[in-house]
Amino acid sequence: MKRSSKLGLAVVTAATISLVAAGCAASTTGSGTGTKASPVTVTFWGSYGNGGNSTQQDALNKTLIPAFEKANPGITIKYTDIAYDSLLQKLTTSAAGGQLPDLVRADLGWVPQFAANGVLVPLSGSMSDYKTLAAKDYAGNVSTNLYKGKYYGLPLDTNTRVLITDQAALAKAGVTAPPATFADLQTMATKLKGTGVSLFADSGLGAWNVSPWIWSGGGDLTNPDETKATGFLNSATNVQTIQMLVDWYKAGLIPNLITGNKGATGTSDGLPKTKYATIFDGPWMSGIWTGQYPKFQPTYSPIPAGSGGSISVVGGEDIVLTASSTHQAAAEKFIRFTQTSAFQIAMAKTGQMTVEPSLADQQAQLAPYYKVYSDQLKTAKSRIASPNQSKIDAVLTTTLTPAFLGKTTVQAALDSAASQIDALLAGN
Amino acid sequence: MTALAPRASRRRRSAGWPAATTLRYAALIVGAIVMVTPFLYMLSTSFQSQAYVLTIPPQFIPNPATTGNYTAAIGTENFLLYFVNSLIVAVISTAGSVLLSSMMAYSFARFAFRGKEAIFRLLLAGLTIPAVMLLIPQFILARNLHLLDSLGGLIFFYIAGSLSLNTFLMRGFFASIPGELDQAMQVDGANSWTRYWRLAIPLAKPAIAVATIFTFLNSWDEYPIALTMINNSDNATLPLAIANFQGQHATQWGLVFAASLIAVIPVLIVFLVFQRYFVQGLTSGAVKG
């Protein structure tokens, strides 16, 4: 019975995807879109592969793309998966050589950078239904595509970071519930000293890593217009928040994974092994742990609140169309397909959260932890929208690392970071 | 007193040798441990499931052991295709590079022609440019030559990239082969090609072995050029496939190491085949004294 209902569900899902894909096909007109007589191949690059975990790639390659192609005879989607760490380098080189693919699943931080380089098509100008499609998505995610008054992409998936805890580590700290505030973390820190369990672990000091601490601590990265960091990033509030982390680091309660030790145990392994009590991470972790640590039962809860509340950072990817594409109409058809509920829910099943708030309830039915993420997203903020976002990350990492290592003070580190980021924002 | 001095000195020296030998052995053993430990750790990790990898203290004997990582790596879509692609690229690049660079080295070593030293130095200058600086120019060149996204393109650039070092290595070697041998063959009527092919190449086996090992290893391991030039996964090489095992959010190290160990096998074979020439005397026996 159970098996047949699962089979039925699969058939219904496949049928729905096919129908929606067919709907996309019917709504598009114009020449050069790919027909049986003159077929086109649309190339698409991304990083759906997840360290040997091919769930997301399989959903794309084996279910979604075939459904789209069946509904759009004449259009073939050729997806190439590239290691995330290398994708930006490959895109940069290919852009310089004018050899970009038609479509890219780009980290939302990269879109302004490529838009500034002139290698993307502003979809708000080329797609007549852009406004309708964008209106269905989280406004925060849509805004990551904005560069100089034009929108260069559409949100493909979203995510944020929440607190994930290991119950066994909490027990070692003598608590039963995950820490809800900075004060709770301080209490846990005292109790975990000397137990060999780290209070918190993270894999870097970029904006993705430190922003939740800064915002939840009541501080900010820049002024509201994102034109100046001095006076904001190096505020007394932020010094206090970062000093709290530095103190934990010096007490051995945060491992040196955060300061760049590539040999340290990663957060995805340290938490299930009770080496780390808490981490901040995204919804993809569930799928990774299900495969690798089937007995591990993580607890998902909001980012611990400081004086600024519980504020996390918006993450995700956008789909963008490159200016060198010779199959723009066919590529736009596929972009429309990615905005359908069938595509969004199929990817949500693999750990990629939907960008459409109207699908949040449906998504929460897939797994209870999605509700924690959806709720966190309501107050989550985007990182600085700048073509220099990767440089801003590098500035934060290179200035904060010496503070953690005790080579400089937190105030001096934040002063230096703010001044360098000012220069990068001035170049926007 | 003076008569005793040399004997005492000899005694001191003979007593000192075992100590020096012990030190040498100690240094070699420490060096060997430093070199071999990471490999053993990699080997051990490749037989562990994810729950047991990266434990502290490090586990060198996997317990429980599993071959699951190897099954998963080989079972990954197209893994065998990537292996074959790498093999094709590395073998052809190595053969092409060794052939071309040995001919260039022979001409630099044996012939006198205008601008010889200038051309040789220009060639050597290529060694001083960091490879990463050449990525975009090479990419544009590949695009203009229609070599993008093909194994032929990789072979072209791998051969070009290895010519400088191999020519430099082999020129020195050819120059050390006594000129009398060439002259003797010349008197017998041998032309340049015969002297190169029948005399220089057989005597240069150690240098060819070194060039072969270096070129094969570099072509087999190469990542940045393959990453930028290959778009279609059907043309991907093993380093690209192994990099894909490292995820944005998590990495299955057991899988990465199992795939890396599979990738090491051809390199080991090449090294074992050519290793004996490494230690062979360079021109011993070539000229009778």
Closest Cα in chain B, distance from residue A84 (Å):
6
Give the pLDDT band (50/70/90) at residue B16.
low
For residue B276, what pLDDT is reported?
Answer: 77
For residue A30, what pLDDT is reported?
Answer: 37
Letter for the amino acid at B255? Answer: L
Q: Which of A24-28, A159-163, B161-165, B269-273 shows the lowest mean pLDDT across its residues?
A: A24-28
For residue A303, what pLDDT is reported?
Answer: 97
Q: Residue A52: which of B49, B72, B148 has the nearest Cβ?
A: B72
Select from A380, A382, A317, A313 the least CA-distant residue to A352: A317
- B119 near A CB under 8 A: no
Nearest CA in chain B to A288: B250
- B248 near A CB under 8 A: yes
- B145 near A CB under 8 A: no
For residue A428, what pLDDT is reported?
Answer: 56
For range A3-25, the mean pLDDT: 43
> Is the pLDDT higher at B18 or at A411?
A411
Instruction: Provide, rounded to the nearest whole percent, the portion of chain B with pLDDT above 70.
Output: 87
Give the list of residues 6+ apart from residue A247 with CB closer than 8 angstroms, or none.
none
> Is the pLDDT higher at B247 or at B231?
B231
User: Hey, of B244, B255, B256, B260, which one would you mutate to test binding to chain A, going by the most A CBs within 10 A of its CB?
Assistant: B244
For residue A14, what pLDDT is reported?
Answer: 47
* Domain boundaries along the sequence of chain B: 4-66, 77-278
Kindly state whether residues A41 and A177 are assigned to the same domain.
no
For residue B280, what pLDDT is reported?
Answer: 60
Size of interface A-B (CB pairs under 8 A): 103
For residue B133, what pLDDT is reported?
Answer: 85
Q: Where are the beta strands (DSSP E) in A82-207?
A: 103-107, 146-147, 150-151, 153-160, 162-165, 198-201
Give the list of residues 6+ apart from residue A302 with CB closer than 8 angstroms, or none.
A162, A163, A180, A310, A312, A372, A375, A376
Kindly state whether residues A43 and A117 are assigned to the same domain.
yes
pLDDT at A306 over 60: yes
Number of domains in chain A: 2
Distance of alpha carbon B98 from alpha carbon A395, whole angstroms: 45
B224 contacts on A by Cβ (under 8 Å):
89
Mark out chain A residues that contact chain B at CB-CB < 8 A: 43, 45, 47, 49-54, 78, 80-86, 89-90, 93-94, 96-99, 101, 265-266, 268-269, 272-273, 281-282, 284-285, 288, 292-293
User: Cβ–Cβ contacts within 10 Å for residue A379, how many?
Assistant: 16
pLDDT at A72 over 80: yes
DSSP A282-331: -TTHHHHHHHH-TT---EEEPPPBBTTBS--BEEEEEEEEBTT-S-HHHH
Sheet with A198-201: strands ordered across: A198-201, A276-281, A162-165, A299-301
Classify domain B77-278 by CATH architecture: Orthogonal Bundle (1.10)
Give the pLDDT band (50/70/90) at residue B274.
confident
For residue A288, what pLDDT is reported?
Answer: 79
For range A112-134, the mean pLDDT: 94
Closest Cα in chain A, distance from residue B262 (Å):
16
A89 contacts on B by Cβ (under 8 Å):
224, 227-228
B77 contacts on A by Cβ (under 8 Å):
54
For residue A165, what pLDDT is reported?
Answer: 97
Closest Cα in chain B, distance from residue A5 (Å):
30
CB distance A319 to A338 below 8 Å? yes
Kindly state whether residues A297 and A422 are assigned to the same domain.
yes
Backbone phi, psi, residue B139, to 5°: -60, -45
B243 contacts on A by Cβ (under 8 Å):
83, 85-86
pLDDT at B249 over 80: no
CB within 8 Å: A281 and B53: no
Q: Residue B249: which of A45, A82, A285 has the nearest Cβ?
A: A285
Closest Cα in chain B, distance from residue A193 (Å):
19
Tell me the CA distances in angstroms from A345 to A130, A358, B250, one per residue in order: 21, 11, 23
Nearest CA in chain A to B228: A90
Mean pLDDT of chain B: 84
For range A317-330, the mean pLDDT: 94
Nearest CA in chain B to A90: B228
CB within 8 Å: A292 and B252: yes
First CA to last CA across chain B, in angstroms?
A: 44
What residue numbers bound the domain in which A74 lies? 2-160+314-379
Give the pLDDT band (50/70/90) at residue B282.
very low
Q: Checking DSSP bridges between strand A75-81 and strand A150-151, what pairing results, if any? A: unpaired
Distance of alpha carbon A308 from alpha carbon A245, whole angstroms: 16
A82 contacts on B by Cβ (under 8 Å):
227, 244
Kindly state whether residues A351 and A407 are assigned to the same domain.
no
Highest mean pLDDT among A242-251, A350-359, B37-46: A242-251
Closest Cα in chain A, distance from residue B178 (Å):
48
Nearest CA in chain A to B141: A97
For residue A48, what pLDDT is reported?
Answer: 86
Given CA atoms B159, B165, B170, B171 in this order, what sign does their dihedral have?
Answer: positive
pLDDT at A24 over 70: no
Distance of alpha carbon A32 from alpha carbon A38, whole angstroms: 8
Kindly state whether residues A307 and A320 are assigned to the same domain.
no
For A164-198, letters b (16+ CB in 10 Å) and e give bbbeebbebbebeebbeebebbeebbebbeeeebb
Helix (H, G, I), strand (E, B) or coil at B246: strand
Instruction: Provide, rounded to the nearest whole percent, the portion of chain A with pLDDT above 90.
Output: 64
Kindly state whether residues A101 and A227 are assigned to the same domain.
no
Give the pLDDT band (50/70/90) at residue B1.
very low
pLDDT at A2 over 50: no
For range B187-211, the mean pLDDT: 89
Distance of alpha carbon A405 from alpha carbon A400, whole angstroms: 9
pLDDT at B135 over 70: yes
Kindly state whether residues A349 and A321 are assigned to the same domain.
yes
Backbone phi, psi, residue A377, to 5°: -65, -25
Select from B91, B99, B83, B85 the least CA-distant residue to B216: B91
Q: Which long-range contacts (CB under 8 A, 24 or more apart) does A229-238 make?
A: A229/A417, A229/A418, A229/A419, A229/A421, A229/A422, A229/A425, A230/A415, A230/A418, A230/A419, A230/A422, A231/A418, A232/A418, A233/A414, A233/A417, A233/A418, A233/A421, A234/A411, A234/A414, A234/A415, A234/A417, A234/A418, A237/A307, A238/A214, A238/A414
For residue A52, what pLDDT is reported?
Answer: 63
Helix (H, G, I), strand (E, B) or coil at A353: strand
Helix, strand, coil tally for chain B in percent (to 5)? 75, 0, 25
- B12 near A CB under 8 A: no
Select from A267, A60, A18, A20 the least CA-distant residue to A157: A60
Burial class (CB in 10 A: 0-12, 13-18, 19+), A412: middle
> Is the pLDDT higher at B8 or at A137?
A137
Q: Checking DSSP bridges between strand A276-281 and strand A198-201, what pairing results, if any? A: parallel
B57 contacts on A by Cβ (under 8 Å):
none
Q: Where are the beta strands (DSSP E) in A138-216?
A: 146-147, 150-151, 153-160, 162-165, 198-201
Distance of alpha carbon B52 from alpha carbon B62, whole angstroms: 8
For residue A311, what pLDDT is reported?
Answer: 96
Over residues B42-89, the pLDDT tens digits come to: 888 888 876 666 666 777 787 778 888 888 888 877 889 999 999 999
**Partner residues linked to A306 by β-bridges:** A309
Helix (H, G, I), strand (E, B) or coil at A149: coil
For residue A4, what pLDDT is reported?
Answer: 41
What count of Cα atoms within 13 Å lies in the side-chain half-sphere of residue B207? 27
Q: Residue A266: which of B224, B233, B251 has the nearest Cβ?
A: B251
CB within 8 Å: A51 and B135: no
CB distance B164 to B126 below 8 Å? yes
State the CATH number of the domain containing residue A337. 3.40.190.10
Helix (H, G, I), strand (E, B) or coil at A201: strand
Over residues B138-152, the pLDDT tens digits come to: 999 999 999 999 999
Q: What is the pTM of this model?
A: 0.75
Backbone phi, psi, residue B246, to 5°: -95, 120
- B249 near A CB under 8 A: yes
Helix (H, G, I), strand (E, B) or coil at A276: strand
Nearest CA in chain A to B246: A51
Q: Residue A50: which of B55, B248, B256 has the nearest Cβ?
A: B248
Q: Which of A53-57, A336-340, B21-25 shows the lowest mean pLDDT across its residues?
A: A53-57
For residue A28, what pLDDT is reported?
Answer: 37
For residue B279, what pLDDT is reported?
Answer: 62
For residue A51, what pLDDT is reported?
Answer: 64
Q: Residue B247: which of A52, A99, A272 has the nearest Cβ?
A: A52
Nearest CA in chain B to A78: B232
For residue A128, what pLDDT is reported?
Answer: 94
Backbone phi, psi, residue A242, to 5°: -65, -35
Kindly state whether residues A153 and A189 are assigned to the same domain.
no
> Is the pLDDT higher at A410 or at B16?
A410
Kindly state whether residues A306 and A322 are assigned to the same domain.
no
Mean pLDDT of chain A: 88
Kindly state whether residues A217 and A231 are assigned to the same domain.
yes
pLDDT at A235 over 50: yes
**Partner residues linked to A158 by β-bridges:** A316, A353
For residue A45, what pLDDT is reported?
Answer: 94
Give the pLDDT band (50/70/90) at residue B286.
very low
pLDDT at A119 over 90: yes
Identify the helix (H) or strand (E) that includes residue A3: helix A2-27
Look up residue A279 and give its two tokens: 């981490």
Kindly state whether residues A168 and A231 are assigned to the same domain.
yes
Over residues A344-372, the pLDDT tens digits come to: 999 998 888 999 999 988 999 988 899 99
Distance of alpha carbon A85 from alpha carbon B245, whole angstroms: 11
**Partner residues linked to A164 by β-bridges:** A279, A300
Closest Cα in chain B, distance from residue A288 (Å):
7
Q: Residue B233: which of A50, A80, A98 has the nearest Cβ?
A: A80
Kindly state whether residues A198 and A138 are assigned to the same domain.
no
CB within 8 Å: B231 and A97: no
Give the list of residues 6+ apart from residue A96 with CB closer than 8 angstroms, or none.
B136, B139, B140
Q: Residue A51: which of B135, B224, B252 has the nearest Cβ?
A: B252
